[in-house]
Structure 1
Amino acid sequence: MAASSIFMVAPITVFKRNPTFSIRCMAQRPQNGETESSKQATTPNMTTLPPPPPAPKVSSKFSDVLAFSGPAPERINGRLAMIGFVSAMAVEVSSGQDVFAQIGNGGVAVFVGTSVVLTLASLVPLFKGVSVQSKSSGLMTSDAELWNGRVAMLGLVALAFTEYVKGSALV
């Protein structure tokens, strides 16, 4: 008798503060000879979910790749800024020339050549439909590259501004 008292139906209880709110116990009494353990053993079969749909293919249209919010512009500019910042600092340390002297002494031709090669190398995989995130793993993720590029852009501008205000090389 004690085991069947668990399955007793409780009367409807109405709270005095909110008369529209009620609580009901939906438990049922065991059927003839049925126990609690046999009820748990007859759980309905769960159907397996279908596999998730494949990831959408990345658009390789020229207007999508080079759109303002597309995958190419910020990455290419960030890569150029990373190369530019490191090379500007390396030339400055080795020869003592500031950024403006480096640009005046043939830096424009080197910049244009580097820009063309890096832009083509960055665009070829994107035009083939390879997503930027598909090749990133571990420490070298696509987000880390974006942040490094942003910091390099700020660093290059800060370097040029500081050298302009100072009137000479930073190092």
Structure 2
Amino acid sequence: MAASFSFAAQSILGSPVSRVSNRSCGASQFFPVKYVPRVGRNAGLPVRCMAEEEQKEQEQPQPMPTARKAKVSTKFSDVLAFSGPAPERINGRLAMIGFVAAMAVELAKGQDVFAQISDGGVTWFIGTSVVLSLASLIPLFKGVSVESKSEGLMTSDAELWNGRVAMLGLIALALTEYVKGGALV
């Protein structure tokens, strides 16, 4: 270990980068590398690369495009199109509320989904569907995009995925209760 330390110390202290000789008095002084200025033979001569100049000439700075909001179509056929912003969002929102309501009624009364539907659930479903559909469509017909109001954790993609999971959950709940022959809980 002592030999390796001695070798490392000699290589650091004996290198030309870290040793500056004072020729006037004939003695050598050792400085840490960060204090020794390294001066090349032609230090004052600037060197330019011609390739960089050609690239700069070819790449003229383009003006930054201004961030414009894309115009959102407010036509009825565009909003309610198969790939439009409304259908999947409305169905997802209805599924989220339906799944939570079905589970809440099942926990409170012990009724399965089919018993809930036959026990006045159809009128609640129709009323909720109309209110949520209108509440979802009015901003879209005014030209507000779905992505404009999403930031942070509450994004439009998160709403889509939550709606898809709720749709699958509602179907799984109904199938499980059908196969089981009664309420899940």
- Bin for the TM-score computed over the shorter chain: 0.7 to 0.9
Q: How far apart in 2 are the matches of 1:48 and 1:156? A: 52
Residue 128 in structure 1 maps to residue 142 in structure 2: yes
Q: How many pairs are equivalent? A: 137
Residue 83 in structure 1 maps to residue 94 in structure 2: no
Identity fraction in percent = 73
Matches within 5 A, 1:13-162: 35-36=46-47, 47-52=61-66, 54-162=68-176
Shift in CA distance, 161/50, structure 1 to aligned 2, threshold 3 Å: same
Superposition TM-score, scaled by structure 1 size: 0.74
**What amino acid sits opposite 1:103 in the alignment?**
I
1:80 Cα deviation after fit: 0.1
Summarize deviations over 1:31-70 as a string: whole Å, max 9, x none. Answer: xxx8426x999x7695342424623211010000000000
Q: How far apart in 2 are the matches of 1:35 and 1:145? A: 58
1:167 aligns with 181
Q: How far apart in 1 are the matches of 2:94 and 2:138? A: 16
1:24 aligns with none
Q: How far apart in 1 are the matches of 2:179 and 2:67? A: 56
**What amino acid sits opposite 1:36 in the alignment?**
V
Summarize deviations over 1:52-96 as a string: whole Å, max 9, x none. Answer: 462321101000000000000000000000000000000000000
Q: How far apart in 1 are the matches of 2:114 and 2:46? A: 88
Shift in CA distance, 67/107, structure 1 to aligned 2, threshold 3 Å: same
Shift in CA distance, 106/36, structure 1 to aligned 2, threshold 3 Å: same
SS at match of 2:83: coil
SS at match of 2:74: coil
Long gaps (5+) in structure 1: 1-33
Q: Give structure 1 regions of 4+ aligned residues with deviation exceeding 3 angstroms.
A: 43-48
SS at match of 2:73: coil
Superposition TM-score, scaled by structure 2 size: 0.68
Summarize deviations over 1:83-125 as a string: whole Å, max 9, x none. Answer: 0000000000000000000001100000000000000000000
